[in-house]
Structure 1
Amino acid sequence: MSLYIGRETSKLWKRISAETTTEVNLLAENWKYVLGGLICQYMHGLAARGVHYIHRPGPTLQDTGFLLLPELGEERAYVSETVFTFIFLSFILWTFHPFVFKTKKIYTVLIWCRVLSFLVACQFLRVLTFYSTQLPGPNYHCREGSRLATLPRPDNPLEFLLIMPRGVLYGCGDLIFSSHMIFSLVFVRTYQKYGTRRFIKQCAWLTVVIQSLLIIASRKHYTVDVVVAWYTVNLVVFFVDRKLADMPERNIGAPILPLSKDVRMKEENTKLVNGNPGDPVDWRLRNQANGKVNEDSNGLHVDVLDGV
Structure 2
Amino acid sequence: MPSLLPFSFTPRTKRKMSSLEKGSSLDEFELLRLDARGALSAVGAGAAGSSLTRAWCELCRTVDLKEVLGFVVFEVLTVLIAVLGCLDWILFFKFVVEPDDHKTRAQWGGIWVVFTACVLYFRALVRSKADQNMRSLADHAETFIAVSMVMVFSTNIAFILHTPSTTPLRDLGFMLIPEQAVDSRWRPLSDILTAAVPVLFLVQAHVMTRENRCRVMNTFFRVATISYALRMCTVSLTSLPGPAPHCRPGSGNYFPPQSWIDVVTRIGPMYGNYNSCGDLIFSGHMAYTTSAVLLYLRVLDRHFPRFSHVRWALGVTYLFVLAALCVSGRKHYTVDVVLGVMIATLVFFHFEHGWTPLFWQFPHGRPVTATTQLPASMRYMDKRYSIEIRGDDEDEAMDELDDARRSNERLLSGHHKKVPAADFIC
1-side partners of 2:136 and 2:292: how far apart? 24
- The residue that corresponds to 2:279 in the other structure is 174
2-side partners of 1:176 and 1:26: how far apart? 35
2:65 to 10, 13, 36: 13
Query: 1:63 and 1:185, CA in 2 relative to 1: closer, same or farther beyond 3 A?
Result: same
* Residue-by-residue CA offset, 1:245-289 (whole Å, 9 max, x unaligned): 89xxxxxxxxxxxxx96xx9xxxxxxx9xx6xxxxxxxxxxxxxx
Residue identity in the other structure for 1:50? I
1:96 to 195, 203, 207: 203
In the TM superposition, what is the alpha-carbon distance from 1:19 to its structure 2 partner? Answer: 6.1
SS of the equivalent of 2:183 reads helix
- Segments of structure 2 that go 5 or more residues without pairing to the other structure are 1-59, 75-128, 358-374, 380-398, 403-426
Preserved CA contact (<8 Å) 1:53 1:150: no
2:325 to 214, 218, 221: 214
* Identity over aligned pairs, percent: 22
- The residue that corresponds to 2:138 in the other structure is 31
Pairing of 1:57-206 with structure 2 (within 5 A): 57-58=164-165, 59-76=167-184, 78-99=185-206, 101=207, 107-154=212-259, 157=261, 160-165=264-269, 169-196=274-301, 198=308, 199-206=310-317
In the TM superposition, what is the alpha-carbon distance from 1:113 to its structure 2 partner? Answer: 1.8
SS of the equivalent of 1:134 reads coil
Query: 1:168 and 1:95, CA in 2 relative to 1: closer, same or farther beyond 3 A?
Result: farther
Residue identity in the other structure for 1:64? L
Query: 1:245 and 1:53, CA in 2 relative to 1: closer, same or farther beyond 3 A?
Result: closer
1-side partners of 2:262 and 2:248: how far apart? 27
SS of the equivalent of 1:28 reads helix
Query: 1:147 and 1:31, CA in 2 relative to 1: closer, same or farther beyond 3 A?
Result: same
2-side partners of 1:219 and 1:74: how far apart? 10
Query: 1:15 and 1:131, CA in 2 relative to 1: closer, same or farther beyond 3 A?
Result: closer
SS of the equivalent of 1:79 reads coil
Q: Which protein, 1 or 2, shows the higher relative CO under an 8 Å CA cutoff with sep ≥ 6?
A: 1
- The residue that corresponds to 1:291 in the other structure is none
In the TM superposition, what is the alpha-carbon distance from 1:157 to its structure 2 partner? Answer: 2.7
- The residue that corresponds to 1:251 in the other structure is none
SS of the equivalent of 1:132 reads coil
* Residue-by-residue CA offset, 1:95-136 (whole Å, 9 max, x unaligned): 23243x4x6698332222211221222222222222221001
Preserved CA contact (<8 Å) 1:60 1:137: yes
TM-score (norm 1): 0.66
1-side partners of 2:168 and 2:187: how far apart? 20
Preserved CA contact (<8 Å) 2:163 2:241: yes
SS of the equivalent of 1:220 reads coil
- The residue that corresponds to 2:347 in the other structure is 236
- The residue that corresponds to 2:337 in the other structure is 226
2-side partners of 1:50 and 1:16: how far apart? 42
Query: 1:152 and 1:108, CA in 2 relative to 1: closer, same or farther beyond 3 A?
Result: same
Preserved CA contact (<8 Å) 1:106 1:194: no
* Residue-by-residue CA offset, 1:2-56 (whole Å, 9 max, x unaligned): xxxxxx9997534525867998541124533332222111211222123212211
SS of the equivalent of 1:96 reads helix
Count how many residue pairs are aligned between Structure 1 and Structure 2. 244
- The residue that corresponds to 1:280 in the other structure is none
